[in-house]
Structure 1
Amino acid sequence: MTILHLTVPPLPHYIIGGYAVAPTGRKHPSRRNIEVFDLLVVTSGCLYLGEEAQEYEVSAGHSLILRPDAYHYATRACQEQTGYYWIHFQTLGKWGLSDQSLSAEPAEPKDENIFASNKYTTQTFTKQLPQFAKLLQPSKMDNLLRQLVQLNMNDHIPSVKWKQQLVFQEVIEHLSASMETAGPSPSALCAEQAASYLREHYQEDITAQELGESINFHPVYIARCMQKEFGCAPFDYLMRFRIERAKLLLLQTDLPIARIGEEVGFNHAAYFTSCFAKYEGISPRKYRQRFSHG
């Protein structure tokens, strides 16, 4: 499966769309580098399309996203009357392609965002969309796209344009859900459960054994899963999360450094300071001074 990875925010945004009926014998137009994404959702019949070297048969209940930077062409004419929605959309953020979901890729980009909880910076994440998919709920998608197209009549009104964008985000969510029917992998589930436990209990002393007992997985397996999904061991994950919580307290409160260390799970002020300096390259006191006025 080819998967589109969209960096969000900014959100992918709706431009224009419509509903078309292609009679028997009609071919989809060939185009190159149209500079927008073209989402096609077939409600009846079948579209026969190619993108670069890949060919698709998009039958009823299926969707295909044609890329803005590729060559698209018809591989054959419609064999029967074919109804389909076409939606042009774009993203101002980064996007890319792969043949697997992010959970199976190296974790470096994911690792950066998980711990970057500083409220003074905009945090991005990745939204995954299948380029070609069998829709999870075709009738629901049909309803959303019908709403979207009907709103075109009054899209000169700002409030209607806003409504279009809201409906389009539901379309995006439905497309994303269509590739998740198999559910997350066992390792991803284990890593997510472990991460949730560590985040919930970060103020406490946590041992590998306690973590394993809490989510019913062996500590060695947990460590392996977290390394795969987050790029770090459980203790390192916990330490990074504590440091991020400490950074927020340093910026948002006047609590003494030692007290902040206690608040985020460190029993000794000196240990907190050394860990903070190890991860941030600066002491807690200097970190706070960096953002203080005067």
Structure 2
Amino acid sequence: MFTHHYLPTPAFNQYICYPEWIGQYNQMPNHQVYRPIGLLKTFNLHLVFSGKGYVQNAKQRYELNAGTGFLYDMCTVQNYGADERDPWDVRWVHFHGAGIENLLGSEILGEKCWKFHFTRRDHLGKLMDEMMELCNPFQTEHEIRLSTLLYELLIDLRIHAEPWNTTVSNSDRERLHRSAEYIRLHYAEDISLANIAKVADYSPSHFSRTFHRTMGRTPVQYLNETRIIIAKQLLASGTLPVKEIALATGFQQSSYFIKRFHQHEGVTPQQYRAMHSFR
């Protein structure tokens, strides 16, 4: 079974991200794709929900199963497909946008083909399913919702996806997922490393090492990144003073918030607001 939805060029051309083509392949053992360099001028995201498949580069073939995925950068060589004996259920979206590089970061796009593990399957599956529903049939008034759903999908992967080369067990991965979810829900509070480690039932030192090895950044870096993502939304969408945004996102001092924000974004909160406010 396969589903394809090709979308017309959006009426508004400044979406941060917007799907061009979206679909699903399920139980299709002959699903094999090869694209030479420069052929596909959009980003290409695949999420595997069951079954098996692969993605391949010039040096190595990577076996994929449920809870794994990949993202190709634009104009790169692409080589992937379903396992013939146990073909995947894979949902995919080709997309473009005015803010993809800032959204995903150079550490992801610099890989050309970013491979990862994802844990929030039900949530991500619902986002993909709703996008496909809005395409059948497509109406112009669906544009904003489609862009919003894709943005949420990419942000979720940006925050929660784990690097491909992680070697943690499923039990450890579930514990780390609980701790990441705790951070997401309690970012506005004065939480410590010990608080977060307790959620995963680890000692703070073991938790910090395991989290860093799995997530590619320390728990404190992850916490600050989560806070800054929320702060960016507040800066762009409202008039709340910077000092109040700092407190609302868990920073006890506005000066420390401004310092961390500038380190992360390259601009001050005030500059970011001026750049992204539509009022």
Contact 1:45/1:81 (<8 A) preserved: yes
Contact 1:36/1:68 (<8 A) preserved: yes
In structure 2, C-alpha distance between the alignment counterparts of 1:199 and 1:46, rounded to whole Å = 48
Equivalent runs, 1:1-294 vs 2, <5 Å? 11-24=16-29, 26-32=30-36, 33=38, 34-53=40-59, 55-74=61-80, 77-93=83-99, 95=101, 97-98=106-107, 131-155=114-138, 157-179=139-161, 181=180, 182=211, 184-185=217-218, 188=221, 196-199=251-254, 230=263
Distance 1:41 1:29, change over 3 A: same
Which amino acid letter does the alignment assign opposite residue 20 of structure 1? Y
Contact 2:16/2:100 (<8 A) preserved: no
Contact 1:66/1:72 (<8 A) preserved: yes
In structure 2, C-alpha distance between the alignment counterparts of 1:201 and 1:73, rounded to whole Å = 45
Contact 2:18/2:146 (<8 A) preserved: no
- 1:157-185 CA-to-partner distances (Å, cap 9, x unmatched) read 22212221111112112211223753752
Shift of 1:198: 3.8
Secondary structure in 2 aligned to 1:81?
coil
Identity %: 15
Secondary structure in 1 aligned to 2:135?
helix
Shift of 1:94: 6.5
Secondary structure in 1 aligned to 2:69?
strand
- 1:245-278 CA-to-partner distances (Å, cap 9, x unmatched) read 9xx9xxxxxxxxxxxxxxxxxxxxxxxxxxxxxx
In structure 1, C-alpha distance between the alignment counterparts of 2:137 and 2:224, rounded to whole Å = 47
Secondary structure in 1 aligned to 2:122?
helix
In structure 2, C-alpha distance between the alignment counterparts of 1:151 and 1:100, rounded to whole Å = 28
Distance 1:54 1:13, change over 3 A: farther
In structure 1, C-alpha distance between the alignment counterparts of 2:109 and 2:74, rounded to whole Å = 20
Give the RMSD, CA atoms, in angstroms.
4.1
Q: Note the residue ranges of structure 2 that are not aligned, 5 or more in a row.
A: 1-13, 163-179, 181-210, 228-245, 275-279
In structure 2, C-alpha distance between the alignment counterparts of 1:139 and 1:190, rounded to whole Å = 24
Which amino acid letter does the alignment assign opposite residue 144 of structure 2? W
Higher relative contact order, chain-length normalized (CA < 8 Å, sep 6+): 1
Distance 1:36 1:191, change over 3 A: closer
Contact 2:28/2:82 (<8 A) preserved: no
Distance 1:165 1:230, change over 3 A: closer
What is the number of equivalent residue pairs in this alignment?
A: 175
Contact 2:17/2:100 (<8 A) preserved: no
In structure 2, C-alpha distance between the alignment counterparts of 1:230 and 1:29, rounded to whole Å = 40
In structure 2, C-alpha distance between the alignment counterparts of 1:164 and 1:170, rounded to whole Å = 10
Distance 1:176 1:54, change over 3 A: farther
Distance 1:201 1:185, change over 3 A: closer
Secondary structure in 1 aligned to 2:84?
coil
Superposed structure 1 runs of 4+ greater than 6 Å apart: 189-193
In structure 1, C-alpha distance between the alignment counterparts of 2:123 and 2:223, rounded to whole Å = 32
TM-score (norm 2): 0.50
User: Which structure would you say has the larger Rg?
Assistant: 1
Distance 1:186 1:20, change over 3 A: closer
Q: Note the residue ranges of structure 1 that are not aligned, 5 or more in a row.
A: 1-8, 102-129, 203-225, 232-239, 249-294
TM-score (norm 1): 0.48
Distance 1:75 1:162, change over 3 A: closer
Shift of 1:148: 0.8
Shift of 1:46: 1.2
